[in-house]
Each structure stands twice: as structure tokens, then as C-alpha cells.
Amino acid sequence: MSRHILFVYLIVTAFVLFSGCIEEYYPDDEVLKTGTLVVQAHLNNKAGEQTLVISRSSTLIYPEFDPLSGCIVEVVNMEGDSREFIESAPGNYVFNHDDQFFRINEEYCLIFVTPGGRQYESEFEKIHPVAEIESIYYQLESHPTYEQDVNEEGVQFYMDFEIEKESGRYLRWQVTETYEIHNPESEAWIFDVDRRLKLLPDSSSWRTCWITLGIPEIFTLDLGHVEGEIYKKMPLNYVNTETRRLNIRYSLLVEQMALSQSAFHYWQEQAKNTQSGGSLFDSQPSLSPGNICNVDEENELVIGFFSVSGVTERRVFIEDVPGLKIQKDLNYCKPGEYPKFLSYFPLAYLPVYMALEIVEGYRTFGEVHKYCVDCRDYKGSTHIKPDFW
């Protein structure tokens, strides 16, 4: 997409969204400057690797991830006990939680120092207990599309969960999908930088993969005025049949987290700046009140929030859904034309991937996307079957 077209698209999008619930879509330069500190630190008490991200904001027109490396990062509890986060990738800081540090009803604070010597601290956040998820299930539903009088078929997920007086009042759900895909069995070829056309080796040609992606929607609920012992039919995500996600086997992991009141309001603000297709600023959080500040310059703007949550989780699988009509795209990964003047392509345009398809004796040999011959190229994809599969 050209920069001019992208700019026009963003302006049109901003115009449409200004008429809705978004109050601060396009901040002035004085409000959000390039280089503003951005912190994404949403931790929980589940055992395993915990990750937080520290970066700098980029321009809103062409947002990019600008990681801040070399920080000294730790999380401290009220007793002064701390755990250090080690940088595993630029701007990504990790700590392997062993079930002993993050404990229910205790409070924690994020502290980090940048390479320039600036120190930042968050407010203390408390880990609230969280009730169990009772069940996750689905219904076949027809949802409207952007086209008038046109609906799409798919699966709507719901959940039931327990309501306990001792558990946290404010809840958030993080939803992650995993699904299996199979690429066509076409013979795969590559025209590589050595300018030779050859069969793609098996080590680079994978046709069965598993894709894992986070669902972008933000799901929150205030239980302050909810009565009963079980909350029924909490709506989660909808999966239509227009994609390949439901073709073979689909899994949904739901993590239920209990938040503090301030963290809940933060996520409410995030939800105002989120559409079903994802965040308006995919590379950085939207401008929302945070709980992190520079200890020496309180007026410095810091985007983001530090939170710690109690968490419970549940996973569900679906396949061969009765009554669901899967629409298979017969043209999916169908070879296109053989590239003209391929031998003269600049190195920057190589390699080029090709596939040979034989249907009823008719041979088609032409260019395809890399993911058509190596499914690992899809976002979030791996050729290694997940342990839970």
C-alpha cells in the first residue's frame, strides 16, 4: 500500500470513528510526542514465563515498534521482596514465575531504570482471587456483515463462570485461539538468489501447521450488581466460516482474570479504542490514563499500565460441527502465472516460490505466496503440534 493511500485511509477511519465513542483518536504533538515511553506490563499469578514490554512511541501515521533495550526491571512486593526481569529480546523483559512470588491478596509494584538513568515506578497493584470457569460452549449463529442484507454463518462462543463473594469484582478475559491448517499437496519449487529453479526441500516445505493468535477483542465485566452463583452465557468471540479456522480443528483458551478497580477502568478505556478487527494502534497502546510515572519528573507522560491478576483458565475444542457448512475456497493457493523475465528479477525480489498443481490431468505451474508452500510463514504459525493438541 502506498504511503499516500495509507494516509487517506487513516484520515477516513479517523473521521468515521470520531462520530462514535472514541474521544481522543488523534492527539496533538504536544500530547503524544514521538519517543514517549510505552509500557505493557500485565502480569498474573500463573506459573511460567511472564513478559512485559518497554518501548518508545512512534508516529501515529506510520506506527512502528521501537523497543527500549538495556533497562533494569524488577517487580517488588510490600515486604521488599523482588524479582528481576531479564531482557530476552529488544524491549521484551521476562521472568519465569514458579508459583511462589505472585500470591493472592498481596500487592506489587513495577520499578525500572532506563539506560539513561531515569527511574520509573508504578502504583502498587493487588492480586485479587478469581473464581473458576464452569464451561465454554458454542452456538451456530448468523451475524450481519457490512453489506446490507448479507449475513455470515459461524460459531459464537459463550462461557459460564462461578460468582464468589470472596473473589474479585472486576473481571477481564484474555482469549487465545489455535487452529490446524492443511496446505495443498502441490509440488513446491523455489527460484532462489542463486537464480536457479529447483524443488523446495522438505525441510522448507510444510503443509500442516497450527496457528495460535490472541483474539483482539477486550472482554470485561463489573460484577458489582450481579446476583446469583453462576453467571450464564457470557459472550466471547465469533468465528465465521469465511476463513479456514474452522475447517479442521479449532481450540479456544480462555483466561479469566480478577483486576483492581483502576486496572478495570484502564481496560475499559482500551475497549473504547478497539474495534473487532483489532487495536487502532497495533504497535502501541492507545492513549489512556496509566499508573506509571517518572519518580523525578511526575509530569512526564508514560503510556501504559502495570497490573497483576489472579487467573483461572479453561480450554475447549471443536471439530466437525454438526450443521455448520464449511466454505472451502477452491482457488486457495492456486498457482498464478509463471513470472515473466524471472531471470532478470533484482535480488531484492528473490526468492520466488512456485507450485505445480495437477487437476484431472491438467498441469498448472506458477507463482504462489510463500505460505502456500511453507505454512510456517503464517503469522503465529508452527509446524510443531502443540502439547495440548
Confidence of residue 280 (pLDDT cuts 50, 70, 90): very low
Residues 37 and 111 in one domain: yes
Residues 85 and 200 in one domain: no
pLDDT tens column, 331-364: 889 999 999 999 999 999 999 999 999 888 889 9
Residue 150 forms part of a structural domain: no
- The whole model's pTM is what? 0.83
Q: DSSP states of 309-362 as a string?
A: EEEEEEEEEE-S-TT------TTTT---PPPTTGGG--GGG--EEEEEEEETTE
CA atoms within 13 A on the CB side of 249: 11
CA–CA gap between residue 223 and residue 19 (Å, rounded): 30
* Number of helices (H), then strands (E), in the chain: 3, 25
pLDDT tens column, 294-306: 999 989 999 999 9
3-state helix, strand, coil in the chain (%, to 5): 10, 45, 45
> How many distinct structural domains can be found in the chain?
2
Residues 45 and 190 in one domain: no
Residues 200 and 117 in one domain: no
Residues 302 and 201 in one domain: no
Give the pLDDT of residue 16.
38
Name the residue with higher pLDDT: 5 or 147: 147
Comparing 19-23, 92-96, 109-113, which segment has the lowest mean pLDDT?
Answer: 19-23
Name the residue with higher pLDDT: 27 or 93: 93
CA atoms within 13 A on the CB side of 338: 10
Give the pLDDT of residue 135.
98
| % of residues, the chain, pLDDT over 70 | 86
Give the pLDDT of residue 150.
86
Residues 69 and 198 in one domain: no
Q: DSSP states of 18-77 as a string?
A: HTTT-S-SS--TTTS-TT-EEEEEEEES-SEEEEEEEEE---SSS---EE--S-EEEEEE
Give the pLDDT of residue 298.
87
| % of residues, the chain, pLDDT over 90 | 71
Strand (E) or helix (H) holding 265: helix 261-272
Average pLDDT, the chain: 87
Tell me the mean pLDDT in the region 142-156.
90
Confidence of residue 161 (pLDDT cuts 50, 70, 90): very high
Q: Is-contact 227 161, C-beta < 8 A? A: no
Give the pLDDT of residue 1.
43
3-state secondary structure 102-113: CCCCCEEEEEEE
Task: Report which of 242, 247, 223, 246 is spatially closest to residue 234, judged by C-alpha positions.
Answer: 223
All 3 cell numbers of residue 71?
533497562
- Domain range for 94: 3-126+289-308
Confidence of residue 264 (pLDDT cuts 50, 70, 90): very high
